Amino acid sequence: MGGSVDVCVIAHAHPALSRGGGEMAAWREVRALRAAGRTAVLIAAAEQPPAEWPALPEGESLYDAAAMEEDRLAWAEDPARRALLSRLLATGAGVFHLHHLWRVGLDLVAALRAARPEARLVLTLHEMLAICANHGQMVRTADGALCAAAAPEACAACFPGRAPAHFALRRAAFLRALSLFDAVVFPSDFLRRRYAEWGFVPRAGFVVENPLDPALAARPRRPPAPDLAARFAFFGQPTPFKGLDVLLSALRLAREERPGIALDVHGCGAEEVVGMFPALAPLLSQLGGAVRFRGRYHPTEVLDRMAEAGWVVVPSVWWENSPMVILEAKRAGVPLIVSGIGGMAEKVRPGLDGLHATPGSARDLARVLAEAADPALHARIARSLADAPSPQDFLDALGPVLGPGRG
């Protein structure tokens, strides 16, 4: 492998173990680069015991991240970090492209930069982890309210066991690590602006949309179904940040005005929702057949499932950066209803790609659902809905980031 690899992509996880946006973006980047004739490998973190690791194709491998510190931003055992560094150096890559710093480590970045000063070091920031210690969510721990800006005193209020000085030092450590990269990619301009406001402007910054799965991009885009305006769909897990609880409450309110409105929930079952939100059990009983829980699905099924709906709803209550479900809905030709904040507001043009609702407000989302159920409005927005960027669009945008390659 040494000397032959153009780009080594490093990710915090592999899609064979989890299918979050960051790991999917890293994996799809490798596939797109290979399809374009560039040599690329993927090295991804795993916290499962090695005996539980799945078999992976050639050019994709895992490393054990269990030896990292509790916050997974530094290595507790120097031999483990040195072993990972040796693996990265053995690729001989001219470009090292990191997706996330979590499960990679700020100290690993410094060691890689010192060992390969001539290599091109690239980072894609998928979230605000450097800015916010609350999993990069920019959501206050006490009440779940959105946070607009980080400051040591405000951060200490979210984590009473840590002094403001801890957060000042944390910021300085991140800024040192971020300064080592030759180029930084932001999947949304919203994220780029947030980092600039926080104090980080990279030496070369690029806004590049995450890549769509080439198999999905190759499928023909379907015309909108005219009789589905009153059928809505949610895709994802019932975490507190995704807003499914808000959507279900909004559905009940919207049905008071438009009784024919219905919702399909893809990605989880009713028992998972009740497990996360026990107070919703009476509401689900009341909604009855107006909600169908369709369960988990394979990524290759997503366009077919979306085609059964008139609208895809993304009701997240935090600053989503670039949800993959928005790209998939655009590819499927299905208009969107999103919370009007963060990358969601940026990716969905109101009145053209979909509609916006106030985050966390079941009443406002109910208003939007009732409005969206109008067949004429649905047809108009479906006609103007932008498509997702193609794999070639992604490669064209990534070209200046990675450089010309080795030939």
Task: Tell me the per-residue pLDDT of 130-170, one tens digit each, with 9 for 90 and over.
Answer: 999 999 999 999 988 999 999 999 999 999 999 999 999 99
Q: Residue 244 half-sphere exposure, CB side, CA atoms within 13 Å?
A: 29
The predicted pLDDT at position 3 comes to 52
Crossing angle (nearest 10°) for helices 391-402 and 21-35: 90
Q: Based on the domain organization, do 51 and 120 belong to the same domain?
A: yes
Q: Which domain holds residue 333?
A: 216-384
pLDDT, residue 144, reads: 87
Q: Determine the Cα angle at 395 with ends 184 and 352, to 5°.
A: 90
Report the percent of the chain where pLDDT is more than 90.
Answer: 89
* Contacting residues for 78 by C-beta, under 8 A, at least 6 apart: none
Beta bridge partners of 206: 185
Q: Would you place residue 1 in the very low, low, confident or very high pLDDT band (cuts 50, 70, 90)?
A: very low
Same domain, 223 and 365: yes
Kindly state whether residues 251 and 374 are assigned to the same domain.
yes
Mean pLDDT of 23-37: 93
Q: Are 292 and 262 in contact (CB under 8 A)?
A: yes
Is residue 241 domain-shared with residue 355, that is, in the same domain?
yes
- Give me the mean pLDDT over the 251-266 stretch: 97
**60-64 and 183-186 strand pairing:** unpaired
Taking Cα atoms as reference points, which of 67, 70, 105 lies closest to residue 88? 105
206 and 257 housed in the same domain? no
H or E segment to which residue 176 belongs: helix 164-178
pLDDT single digits (tens) 303-341:
999 999 999 999 999 999 999 999 999 999 999 999 999
What average pLDDT does range 61-80 have in this prediction? 94
Residue 262 CB partners (closer than 8 Å, separation 6+) = 230, 231, 232, 289, 290, 291, 292
User: What string of DSSP letters covers 74-102?
Assistant: SBS-HHHHHHHHHHHHHTT-SEEEEE-ST
**156 within a domain of the structure (yes/no):** no
* Domain match, 225 and 313 both: yes
Q: What is the mean pLDDT of residues 110-117?
A: 98
Question: Is 117 part of any domain?
Answer: yes
User: How would residue 399 be classed by pLDDT, with cut points 50, 70 and 90?
Assistant: very high
| Domain total in the chain | 2
CA distance 228 to 2: 54
Mean pLDDT for all residues in the chain: 94
CA distance 344 to 294: 24
186-235 pLDDT tens trace: 999 999 999 999 999 999 999 999 999 888 999 988 887 779 999 999 99
Q: What are the residue ranges of helices labelled H in 179-293? A: 189-198, 214-217, 244-257, 270-276, 281-287
Cα–Cα nearest to 245, from 290, 286, 277, 270: 277
Residues 199 and 253 in one domain: no
Residue 306 lies in a domain: yes
Reported confidence tier of residue 2, pLDDT bands at 50, 70, 90: very low
pLDDT value of residue 21: 87
Q: Does the residue 170 lie in any domain?
A: no
Specify whether 380 is located in the same domain as 394. Answer: no
Confidence of residue 406 (pLDDT cuts 50, 70, 90): low
Query: 203 lies in a domain?
Result: yes
**Domain presence at residue 137:** no
**Is pLDDT above 50 for 44?**
yes
Residues 263 and 379 in one domain: yes
Q: What is the CATH number of the domain that holds 40?
A: 3.40.50.2000
Tens of pLDDT, residue by residue over 332-366, are: 999 999 999 999 999 999 999 999 999 999 999 99
- Residues 328, 198, single domain; the answer is no
Alpha carbon separation from 217 to 18, 34, 267 (Å, rounded): 21, 16, 21
Is position 204 within any domain? yes
* 167, part of any domain: no
Residues 116 and 247 in one domain: no
Element holding 399 (H helix, E strand): helix 391-402
Do 278 and 202 share a domain, yes or no?
no
Distance, in Å, from the CA atom of 221 to the CA atom of 371, rounded to the nearest integer, reads 25
